[in-house]
Structure 1
Amino acid sequence: MKCAIYARVSTKREEQKNSLQNQIALAESIAKEQGFTVVERYIDNGISGSGMKNRTEILRLLDDAKKKKFDVVIAKSVSRLGRNTVNSMNTADNLERNNIRLILPEDGYDTQMCNSRLNFNLRAVLAEEENLSLSNKIKWGLKASANQGNRVVSVPPFGYRTNPVTRKLEYDESTAPIVKEIFRLYLHEGWGMFSIGNLLMRRGIPTPRAHSGSANAGQKWHQNTIKGILINEVYTGKQVFHKEETTRILAASETYKVRRKVKDEEHVVIENSHPALITEDDFNAVQELMKKKGKHKSNGKESLFSYIVKCPDCGSGMHFKPDRRKGAYVCGGYVKYTSSYCTSHIIEEKVLLQAVKDDLKSLIKDTVKIEHLYGMAEEKAVAVQSHIQKELNRIEKQLIELDKRFDNLLTLHVEGAITTDQFKHQNERNAHLQQELMNKKANLIVAIEEGKYLVERKEAFRKEVERFIDLDISDEQVLKQFLQRLIQTIEVFEDGTIKINYNLNLSNPLPSN
């Protein structure tokens, strides 16, 4: 009989006790005893057993089973088929429908010898429960660490550093004064986040990501960066853990991990865990001030090019001034800080609108021009994909390094060089860092997959431009909706030249009239 072998490990850690080599050796031994001829081996290495879509080898096995490429499958146990009851049962059903014999030696299961699936089903349920139990142990381990006030993140908040011995947060002389100044300027001096960010950039102060040495760290203090500091309770001397947690959901026979917010009463709060940089009263006052500013941020009326038109020199959004030239856009930096910061870049709305209309109409008529834009988009997409792939490779290397760290830790622990507590403490930190890297890896993989649909996006862009012919562009609301969907930004230069950046990251300079 022709025999196939299936083996799986989900992590390198599991491989210490449940190695692929051992699984394959056991299966081959049974095949030899039974007189089977091994024709194929299906190996899922480093793949979780809770889902199916990423397990390429077991999917290939099921496909080959339909093609009758083998007569029997040997796997170490039900848990190797999967740790999701539904998936494990479906796998067994698929093999049975194709008259494929299934042997699971560790569970004493053999479809040729068993008249009932009860044993298999019980083992499948136990495998899923074991997986859930392991997940909960990790969660509770991290929560217990939080209850003890231990940091479970790799990078300390801006303004602090981590003591290498106690692992507690302590005052960082180089950045803590900056945090204090941010709170003082916002609360007591009436400065806005944009103004504070510009002040820090003029001083040449590195951003939090740049200070920590993070990859792709920018040098620009964005408003969101300032806001992230202003809303962080850590600066009051307390630490708040367990704000979010990972949970599993079952959909279409697949198990997915999702992040969900935890109720406030379930947060783990450690009071006075480290030196405070600001008082509790000042922190609460800042939160109230932010709420008030948010309510009065807009009068509810937006201009035709709201959030689209920008100043290319200072990066500010252009402000619509109805009293200037019967309605014109002016550089936001110039409005706030006058000519000492930037020039006006003023352009009348009617002039800008006509320039945009003319360019869109020319796009429809000029095939060479629009194809050129598509070409630019494709070049940009290729460059972005290359950058994403490099970042993915970097993370893969870090994950491999973490696996080596675990192996080294395990060796030190076995040899008695470190205590159990030291092993657990260091392992918790590594586990948290590994989870962060896995999350980043997942996002990068999604970005790579999205990048494969450039052709579809190009076709959608073409259709949107062609629809412009049929639109009533005299209707301001219709035109506004169209512009928001089709155009990403419009840059207005001081000499009146504008540059339109379409949603495919295309650009086309044209003079205003």
Structure 2
Amino acid sequence: MTEKTKKEKKVIVIPAREDRNSENGQEKNKRRVAAYARVSTNKESQQTSYEAQVQYYTDYIKKQADWSFAGMYAEEGVTGTSTRKRVEFQRMIDDAVAGNIDLIITKSVSRFARNTVDSLTAIRQLKEHGVECYFEKENIWTFDTKGELLITIMSSLAQEESRSISENTRWGMRKAFQNGKVFVPFRHFLGYDRGANGELQVNLEQAETVQMIYRMFLDGYSFYRIAAELTKRGISTPYGLQIWNGRTVKNILQNEKYRGDALLQKRYSRDFLDREMRKNEGAVPQYYIVGNHEAIIDTEMFQRVQEELKRRESRHGK
């Protein structure tokens, strides 16, 4: 083939499309940016931190010329060791996957999640949908080549910190139990108020309700019939509700605190990551304190009720 018969190559340039800026001076397509804030307790000091985070990131995003504010997702009094109970976190992920967010910024990796698996799973899910995360304290961008490695390291450190705090807390609680320290949820405990030094102090009006429940049970009333009668009389439950149920009545009848004693560590958390409370059936030590506080039900009546509970349970079993 001669030189004359050869065809010359022709290169055609296809210009890039202008996604962000337009030639005619139209407004930029701004990056939609959301922020996530979380504090793990409802304490006053933490509440200040929570409010400060919300205000800071709201103002910070709105000041950026090429960003548009896509929302503030914030949670108060929620642990970071699991994402299952973090409603705002899940809502943020759903909005991002739906294409409503381009970038998520947060204070630190530990604010995002203290569980390594949860943290990486969420970040990879977001990345698959083109959503980037920025952690201000560590200066980590997830689209950066080293981003995932750094997040893995920082999440692991945050998770170990949570483990250490959890173990120290459990150790402190068990030492308190060994020393006879009784913890009671007074706001949801019928019959007693918190005394000046944190001790159980009899609430006379509520104590009458407790005594009535014990008498009705020994008179042959079932849990559900007692509950119906209490509801009919307009007596509030331990949680301040107006409708009683049989389970609440049974719990009151079985609670040793009404005889002046206290069984400690009835429930325990097996895993610091999910913090699910389980009934203690011998997995960890329990501590029984005799004569811890003033009784509402005398020992004889309390014992009769326990025997009647067993009798009815055996009868239903047959």
- Residue 177 (structure 1) shift: 6.3
- Residue 289 (structure 1) shift: 3.6
Q: Which residue of 2 aligns with 1:121?
A: 152
The answer to whether structure 1 residue 149 and structure 2 residue 182 are counterparts is yes
Q: Which residue of 1 aligns with 2:12?
A: none
The answer to whether structure 1 residue 59 and structure 2 residue 94 are counterparts is yes
Q: Deviations over 1:370-428 (max 9, x none)?
A: xxxxxxxxxxxxxxxxxxxxxxxxxxxxxxxxxxxxxxxxxxxxxxxxxxxxxxxxxxx
Q: Deviations over 1:103-152 (max 9, x none)?
A: 43311323566446322211122333445555666666766776423433
2:35–2:73 contact (8 Å) kept in structure 1:
yes
1:44–1:58 contact (8 Å) kept in structure 2:
no
Alignment of 1:430-469 (within 5 A): none
SS at 1:127's partner residue?
A: helix
Q: Which residue of 1 aligns with 2:257?
A: 234
Q: Which residue of 1 aligns with 2:199?
A: 168
CA distance in 1, matches of 2:99, 2:235: 52
Which amino acid letter does the alignment assign opposite residue 8 of structure 1?
Y
The answer to whether structure 1 residue 7 and structure 2 residue 35 are counterparts is yes
> 1 or 2 for the larger relative contact order (CA 8 Å, sep ≥6)?
2
The answer to whether structure 1 residue 216 and structure 2 residue 242 are counterparts is yes
- Residue 279 (structure 1) shift: 5.0
Unpaired runs of 5+ residues, structure 1, are 250-254, 301-513
Which amino acid letter does the alignment assign opposite residue 238 of structure 1?
D
RMSD in angstroms over aligned alpha carbons? 4.5
1:26–1:76 contact (8 Å) kept in structure 2:
no
Structure 2 CA distance for partners of 1:97 and 1:223, relative to 1, 3 Å:
closer
Structure with more of its chain in helix, by fraction: 1
Structure 2 CA distance for partners of 1:267 and 1:117, relative to 1, 3 Å:
same
Q: Deviations over 1:228-284 (max 9, x none)?
A: 4432211221122332245669xxxxx756331123563343321112344546534
- Residue 59 (structure 1) shift: 2.6
Task: Decide which of 56, 59, 67 is 1:38's aligned counterpart.
Answer: 67
SS at 2:98's partner residue?
A: helix
Task: Decide which of 272, 278, 300 is 1:260's aligned counterpart.
Answer: 278
Which amino acid letter does the alignment assign opposite residue 215 of structure 1?
L
CA distance in 1, matches of 2:142, 2:135: 9
CA distance in 2, matches of 1:24, 1:182: 53
Structure 2 CA distance for partners of 1:51 and 1:270, relative to 1, 3 Å:
same
Structure 2 CA distance for partners of 1:22 and 1:248, relative to 1, 3 Å:
farther
Q: Alignment identity in percent? A: 20
Task: Decide which of 257, 280, 291 is 2:310's aligned counterpart.
Answer: 291
Structure 2 CA distance for partners of 1:229 and 1:92, relative to 1, 3 Å:
closer
Which amino acid letter does the alignment assign opposite residue 22 of structure 1?
Y
Alignment of 1:323-334 (within 5 A): none
- Residue 192 (structure 1) shift: 1.6
Normalized against structure 1, the TM-score is what? 0.42
1:149–1:239 contact (8 Å) kept in structure 2:
yes
Structure 2 CA distance for partners of 1:122 and 1:242, relative to 1, 3 Å:
same
Alignment of 1:19-418 (within 5 A): 19-25=53-59, 37-46=66-75, 48=78, 49=80, 50-51=82-83, 54=87, 55-64=90-99, 70=102, 74-97=105-128, 102-110=133-141, 114-115=145-146, 117-132=148-163, 147-158=180-191, 161-162=192-193, 164-174=195-205, 176=207, 191-194=219-222, 209=236, 214-217=240-243, 227-246=250-269, 258-264=276-282, 266-280=285-299, 283-297=302-316
- Residue 287 (structure 1) shift: 2.2
Unpaired runs of 5+ residues, structure 2, are 1-19, 21-29
1:238–1:271 contact (8 Å) kept in structure 2:
yes
